[in-house]
């Protein structure tokens, strides 16, 4: 009894455990898309991506090919419906993947053409490197805080999946847009 009393009295009061600090996670486009895909396939087993777009962030320029928020539109040929899905790596987000409201979808419309994931071999970090070599480097050296956005779509005329690397925060404020082949990593053109 005496030994047990000495052991118990020698213990310190436990320190309160602090919750881990939430941090923002910035991810490449392919990472975000792969996280949205299982949820999209729950919505419709034949769901295929139509577009993928990053969102501007106040605390990240996107100059590393990453963003904290991504939005993808998935289409279902069997249901003739499309639905937006969002990926968030932000600490204040309640869920990593969320979805919006479904809308009508016509897979025969060239501007809504879904594409096969097997075409996506080059991620946003590599697309950024290519864009830097074709005019982007001069812009980011001039303005180190210049926002970079990424858009992925299927060009049905050229039969290719393309990254649009947009320098300037949005299409309307774009100082330069560089198109990069998302299958080979080859430079396509500047806009």
Predicted TM-score (pTM) of this structure: 0.85
- Residues 16 and 127: their CA atoms lie apart, in Å, by 46
Q: Residue 37: how many CB atoms within 10 A of its CB?
A: 18
Measured in residues, the chain has a length of 191
Angle CA(147)–CA(100)–CA(126) in degrees, nearest 5? 35
pLDDT tens track, the chain, 191 positions: 445 554 455 555 566 667 667 788 899 999 999 999 999 999 999 999 999 999 888 888 999 999 999 999 999 999 999 999 999 988 887 779 999 999 999 888 888 889 999 999 999 999 999 999 999 999 999 999 999 999 999 998 889 999 999 998 776 778 899 999 999 999 999 98
**pLDDT score at 14:** 64
Q: Residue 174: how many CB atoms within 10 A of its CB?
A: 14
Distances (CA, A) of 56 to 38, 65, 78, 94, 183: 25, 12, 33, 19, 25
């Amino acid at each position: 009894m005496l030994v047990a009393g000495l052991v118990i009295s020698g213990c310190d009061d436990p320190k309160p455990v602090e919750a881990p600090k939430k941090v923002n996670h910035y991810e490449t486009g392919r990472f975000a898309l792969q996280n949205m895909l299982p949820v999209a396939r729950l919505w419709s087993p034949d769901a295929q991506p139509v577009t993928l777009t990053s969102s501007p962030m106040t605390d990240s320029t996107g100059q590393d090919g990453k963003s904290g928020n991504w939005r993808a539109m998935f289409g279902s040929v069997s249901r003739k419906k499309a639905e937006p899905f969002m990926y968030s790596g932000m600490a204040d987000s309640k869920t990593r993947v969320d979805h919006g409201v479904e809308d009508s979808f016509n897979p025969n419309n060239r501007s809504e053409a879904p594409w096969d994931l097997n075409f996506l071999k080059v991620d946003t970090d590599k697309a950024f490197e290519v864009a830097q070599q074709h005019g982007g480097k001069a812009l980011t050296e001039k303005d180190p805080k210049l926002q970079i956005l990424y858009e992925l779509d299927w060009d049905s005329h050229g039969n290719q999946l393309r990254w649009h690397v947009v320098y300037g925060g949005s299409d309307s404020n774009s100082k330069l847009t560089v198109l990069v082949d998302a299958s080979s990593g080859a430079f396509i053109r500047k806009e």
